[in-house]
Amino acid sequence: MADAAPTPSPLAHEVADMRQRIADLEAALAAQQALVQALGARQDAAAQIVETVRDPLLLLDPHFRVQSANPAFYRTFQMTPAETEGQLLSQLDHGEWDMPAVRTLLEELLPQQTIVTDYEVTQSFARIGRRTLLLNARCLDAVQRILLAIEDITIHKHAETRLQQQQTRLERQMQEQMAALHHDMAERQRLEREAQRVQHFATLGRLAAGLSHEMRNPLAAVFLYVDLLAEELHDPAPSSATAIDQALTAIKTHLARVDDRLQDYLALVRVATLPQAPVDLTAVVTQWAQEITPLLTAQGITLQLDALDQLGTVMLHPPTLRRALLHLVHNAMEAMPHGGTLTLGGRRQATTVHLEVRDTGIGMPPEHLTRMFEPLQTTKPGGTGLGLYLVQEVVAAHGGQIAVQSTVGHGTTMTITLPLGGT
């Protein structure tokens, strides 16, 4: 019978277990060393990154003791690693970092928020003076470390302050300039009103002188004819009836001329306070055209109506505007002493209506057009220079404008523009 195999001893089992444990420990140690090397490499990389950051950085432990700082911190606050690392933050630089705002940031805000950004503090430092700092803090490694980033914004704050001061100064200067401008505008308006007042009185003086002249001639004629009547009545002759009749006709003619001039002056005086009402412009212009037709026919002038059927409603004082229109018609008649055609035309637009008085008369040269609406300006022998000035003032009182186009030898067109309105 063969011999039995030897049974392994307990010591051999223990040795094998021991060798396995040693192998496991060596593998674990190698893995740990690799991890330590990796962590070391990461820390070295992180340290290199931290060193390149331009803003100051502090790495604190949970008790707010400085573990490390980057070169930017030492440069900015003029401190050394020896007097920084291992120190409580509140004890740095002889306690200058013991700031209530920083304690609030680290002890109250940071535990609640994990990250705190743009927390502004202002502090005076013996080495670098008064600084305004912007703090950013973040918890690392489950609050085993705290990263505190510090940005010196003193220059920015000074710039903002200077900018604000400059803006305040500019606003004050602008207000002063605006006040001066308002004062200048008020003074200019006052001077303009004074100039208008002086011009107004000067115009009144010229008008009064013109009225005196206009009244003197027909009244002198009236007095002359009254004397002739008195003679004829005192010593009648066979021809007295004819002479009396002629004298009375002449007196009526001159008195009508006086009345006509007085009505013009009264219209100028009252033009600023004309009572106006909504009027159908087509109806009143058509009526006026019928009234002047016999007068035009007697002088060999043909009247034509052009597009007067739908002019619209306009705020008017009809008697005064009629008087202005008659002045334009009389001017057209004087420009056609040998007959011609006078056209009353209309043209309606969105908000305005145009009323035209066109003649085929002698026309006017350009140099006469520039001053034709000025008071007491006339190129006609015996003219008063009041008619076109009256027309302009009446049209302006109705919120309108008047324009003229004229060509020598081809006639003149006077255009009155009035605003549509009324109900």
Tens-digit pLDDT profile for residues 293-310: 999 999 999 999 999 988
pLDDT score of 339? 94
Pairing mode, if any, of strands 411-419 and 352-359? antiparallel
CA distance 242 to 101: 121
CA distance 286 to 423: 20
pLDDT score of 209? 64
What one-letter code names the amino acid at 94? H
Best-predicted range by mean pLDDT (129-143, 186-200, 313-327) = 313-327
Q: Cβ(274)–Cβ(241) under 8 Å?
A: no
Please enumerate in sequence order all residues whose Cβ is within 8 A of that of 386, keeping only pairs 6 or more positions apart, or say none.
Answer: 207, 210, 261, 264, 265, 268, 375, 376
| β-strand partners of 152 | 133
Q: Is 202 helix (H, G, I), strand (E, B) or coil?
A: helix
Q: Average pLDDT, stretch 397-409?
A: 92
pLDDT score of 46? 47
Please give the structure tokens belonging to residue 9. Answer: 């001893």
384 closest CA partner among 206, 222, 249:
206
- pLDDT tens for residues 174-216? 898 888 888 888 888 888 877 766 665 566 666 666 666 667 7
- Kindly indicate the confidence band of residue 41, based on its pLDDT and cuts at 50, 70 and 90: low
Q: What percent of the chain has pLDDT over 70?
A: 82
Q: 350 — phi, psi (to 5°)?
A: -65, -45
Backbone torsion region of residue 97, taken as left when φ is above 0, otherwise alpha when ψ lies between -120 and 50, otherwise beta: alpha
CA distance 334 to 378: 13
pLDDT score of 1? 47
Span of 252-261, 279-288, 320-329 with lowest mean pLDDT: 252-261
Q: 306 — phi, psi (to 5°)?
A: -130, 110
What one-letter code names the amino acid at 241? A
Q: Cβ(261)–Cβ(384) under 8 Å?
A: yes
Q: Cβ(288)–Cβ(349) under 8 Å?
A: no
Q: Average pLDDT, stretch 359-388?
A: 74
| β-strand partners of 280 | 313
55 closest CA partner among 147, 161, 158, 162:
147
Q: Cβ(391)–Cβ(402) under 8 Å?
A: yes
pLDDT score of 44? 52
- Kindly indicate the confidence band of residue 45, based on its pLDDT and cuts at 50, 70 and 90: very low
